[in-house]
Amino acid sequence: SGKCFQEQGDLGRALGIYATVVEQRAPQLARVRGYAVQFRLACLNDPERSDYLVVVREATDWLTENKTLAATDFGIGILFQRALAQEKMAVAAEDSTARESFVRAAMEDAQAVGRYEGQYREPANTMARRLKAQLGEADAEPKDFETAFERARLLVERISAAQDEYRKMKESPEKQQKQVELNALRGSAGQYLQMALDLRSPDTDAKALGQVRYLLSYVYFAQSRNFDAIIMARHCMAVDRVSDPDSAMMASEIAMAAASNAYREAPASDRSFEIRLIRDVCMDILKWYPQSTRGNEARLRLGKAYIDLQQPLQAVSWFLEVPESDPSYVSARIGAGQAYWTAWVLNASKGGDESTGVTHTPEEVRQWRDEARQLLQAGADLWRKNVGADTKPTDEIVQAEMWLAQINNLDGSFQQMIDRLTTGDAASVLAAVSVPEGTTRPDVGVTSASVAGSIYRLLLRAYVGTQQIDKAMQTMVDVEKTGGQDITVVYTQLGRELQEELERLKSSGETARLSEVRQSFEVFLQKVYEGRDPSNTNQLIWIGETYFGLGSGVGDDVTAAAQYFNRASETYSELLQNSQLDPAMLPTVKLRLAKCRRHQQQYEQALPLLTDILTENPLRIDAQFEAAHLLTDWGAEEKNAERQLQAVQGLNGPDNKLLIWGWASISTRLITRLRETP
């Protein structure tokens, strides 16, 4: 319908429809969204609208974000619309250099479109010839290296000045115009630099060639062509370090920055190639500039790359190579501590390194934790010594203190943990993660709900360990505030973290410490339960979740697990009888009680709870999983084939329709969902 309105000349309605389609972000709608972008840009290019600036900006954004779709019909159409807009902007440009840049940018886009078969090939080739004629003999393509390099150099100077001007501008249409002009200038500079390389001869000055290669990598980087920038910069580092060491050194900075950008832009679930690329760039820098400041920066980045590659022990040596005289020494100490801590986390439960097949003794693994503590503490303490005790900690220091707190928690050094997180008032770690009342926390950074929640939970754990009930309850309020709308997520997380702590201590053979943790929680929970406020249902949920975490974390200690699950069941049962409980919380509490009943092998009492939940909401997937687990365990315990079959095929409700899906239906539905939303 949008296309119909467009063909009838009703651009307003057409743009409204296209905007609605463009806003749909589902992956399966990528093609439809691409055509909507193309048609929207055509509307904006219409003489009735003449929104050429918007066309160039939106087309550039789309082409940058959808590189894999650039050769599709709609991708070529979007590129053609950008060419048309840039040609119109060249006509309106008052500055001759800007005019030439727009003409060259339009010509480059038109030539690119003309390489593809399809409806745009002929008009694009016609446009390219027309634009080339507009440049005239005076602006004809250079015939030698020197001319091409000089034109590029002048454009790079203009780019530098325009970038400074752009950074000083406030958000406005003028700033958007400046961004488009900058992109055009970069495109023209890149063309001339490539021409210079094509026109080089055996007699071309080697230093000038090095400058061209560096500048081309710089232009590619400014255009967000990260991989092109990396290739050119690494080539410059390798071949120009003797004839033009300055350009080669500056190229190393471009290579590192472009590799880091490529990493950030890659999907979080698929960054292995970019991590290896960073590693390769760092190895190049260390090969050519091992003793330089840039070399130490590479050591830091290389260490981080190995951590990302799940090879933390290889990261340690790179961090430790950074000398004390280097400004990044503190970061290197913290990085080495992080690497040792990561190695401990990855190996504590299995005693081996899957990436290398090497088996480590429990003593070796424990030594990594000790090394991590020493390095993290040394790095954080050195930072405070350098900047003063009254300085607010940086994000890096907050992260280091969080890892250190996790280690102190495992070691039972609770008072030290409390002191390190709270000492310093406004300059404390606790102050660094806090936000004003009513402020929405950001998605990332030390004030995010993720980081702040971890700090608060660690502090709560320390207060439990020192039996400071009042402070624990005060800290619980902060923990709850970082949990968002669903407060049960917070308590579930606390219970899960306790379970993981117990499992790690058990796996690493620290039986004495395991016993201490269990005993401290038992004493603490009993005190909290005895002094509970019946109207504070959140407190009861926390008690129940903590007992559940204890029961899940004691492993094969059947007697202890039964006691913990029994106490959790009693707490959840009390909650269900509490008139103060929010009705919206009823299904969640019933689900937790059903899990306890399953662990207590009280299957007949658990099934009605799950039936109630699923009758109200059959799409509640966590309840469906629990019901399948229940039927599986029930059938195995009683050696009942019918129950085991029900676990697979599901159970009907009173209306004779499938209520409990069973494993088969759960699997089918999940596969369907994954296909719809990969």
CA 273, CA 671: separation in Å to the nearest integer?
27
Domain co-membership, 544 together with 614: no
In angstroms, the CA 155 to CA 161 distance is 10
Is 151 among the domain residues? no
Of 172-181, 371-380, 454-463, 477-486, the one with minimum mean pLDDT is: 477-486
Residue 400 is assigned to a structural domain of this protein: no
State whether 547 and 655 are in the same domain.
no
pLDDT in tens, 263-277: 988 888 888 899 999
The mean pLDDT value for 447-463 works out to 90
Tell me the two tokens of residue 470. Answer: 């009042």
Residues 307 and 319: beta-carbon distance below 8 Å: no
Cα–Cα distance measured from residue 81 to residue 177, given in angstroms and rounded to the nearest whole number: 17
Helix (H, G, I), strand (E, B) or coil at 397: helix
What DSSP line would sit under 277-320, residue for residue? HHHHHHHHHHHH-TTSHHHHHHHHHHHHHHHHTT-HHHHHHHHH
pLDDT tens digit sequence for 479-538: 888 876 556 677 777 777 777 888 778 777 788 888 888 888 888 888 878 877 777 788
Domain boundary among 80, 113, 140: 140
Q: Which helix (DSSP H) or strand (DSSP E) does residue 7 occupy?
A: helix 2-7
Asked if residue 479 is part of any domain, the answer here is: no
- Taking alpha carbons only, the member of 9, 3, 85, 5 closest to residue 50 is 85
Neighbours of 574 (CB within 10 A): 18
| 631 shares a domain with 517 | no
| Ranges 194-198, 380-384, 527-531, 640-644: which has the least confidence | 527-531
* Domain boundary residue, one of 600, 621, 652: 600
Indicate whether 135 and 88 sit together in one domain. Answer: yes
Residue 353 clears pLDDT 60, i.e. is over it:
no
Among 82, 113, 140, the domain boundary falls at 140
Note whether residue 165 is domain-resident: no
**For range 628-653, the mean pLDDT:** 93
Confidence band, pLDDT 50/70/90 cuts, at residue 24: confident
Spell out the residues 6+ positions from residue 364 whose beta carbon is closer than 8 angstroms to its own.
Answer: none
For residue 210, is it within any domain?
Answer: no
Q: How distant is the alpha carbon of residue 492 from its chain centre?
A: 23
CA-atom Rg of the chain in angstroms: 32
642 and 519 co-located in one domain: no
Domain that includes residue 116, residue range: 1-140
Q: What is the mean pLDDT of residues 654-666?
A: 92
Query: Where does residue 416 rank: exposed (0-12), middle (13-18), buried (19+ CB within 10 A)?
Result: middle
State whether 615 and 538 are in the same domain: no
And the tokens for 102? 């727009």
What integer pLDDT is reported at residue 354 of this predicted model? 46
Please indicate, yes or no, if residue 55 is contained in any of the structural domains.
Answer: yes
Count of structural domains within the chain: 3
**% of the chain beyond a pLDDT of 90:** 47
> Per mean pLDDT, which of 160-169, 437-446, 614-623 is the most reliable?
614-623
Q: What is the pLDDT, as a whole number, of residue 542? A: 82
Say yes or no: 5 and 118 in one domain. Answer: yes
582 lies in the same domain as 623: no
Give the mean pLDDT of the chain: 88
Which range is least confidently modeled, 56-65, 226-235, 336-345, 534-543?
Answer: 534-543
Q: How confident is the model at residue 104 (pLDDT cuts 50, 70, 90)?
A: confident
Within a domain: 410: no
Identify the pLDDT of residue 394.
95
**624 and 515 part of one domain:** no
Domain co-membership, 136 together with 34? yes
Q: What is the pTM of this model?
A: 0.67
Q: Are residues 609 and 591 in the same domain?
A: no
Here the tokens at position 318 are 């790179």
Q: Does residue 358 carry a pLDDT above 80?
A: no
Same domain, 575 and 614: no
Contact 412, 405 (CB under 8 A): no
Tokens for 160, please give them.
């530098």
Within a domain: 382: no
